[in-house]
Amino acid sequence: MTDPKKLTGSAVQDVEVREDGIRLGQFLKLAGLADSGAHAKALLEQDAVSVNDEPEHRRGRQLAKGDLVTVGVQKARVV
């Protein structure tokens, strides 16, 4: 797994997921895009999260390999 530190600029961080998929709220924490579950929930409520360039509000959305999650200028891909 890559270092889950927050990114700046337009670089994409690849985050390895061992399961067949992962929920968006969990992925935000794993990738370092959210500090906690409460922070992930707040980001989603503030319309700050997109998945594959589409706005997303569901913390429980199931992500699959190849999905790209964006929070501001930070981007992380499920691998």
Cα-Cα-Cα-Cα dihedral sign, residues 7, 13, 18, 19? positive
In tens, the pLDDT along 34-47 reads 999 999 999 999 99
In tens, the pLDDT along 43-73 reads 999 999 999 999 999 999 999 999 999 999 9
pTM of the model: 0.85
* Strands (DSSP E) found in 1-79: 12-15, 22-23, 49-51, 54-55, 62-63, 68-71, 74-78
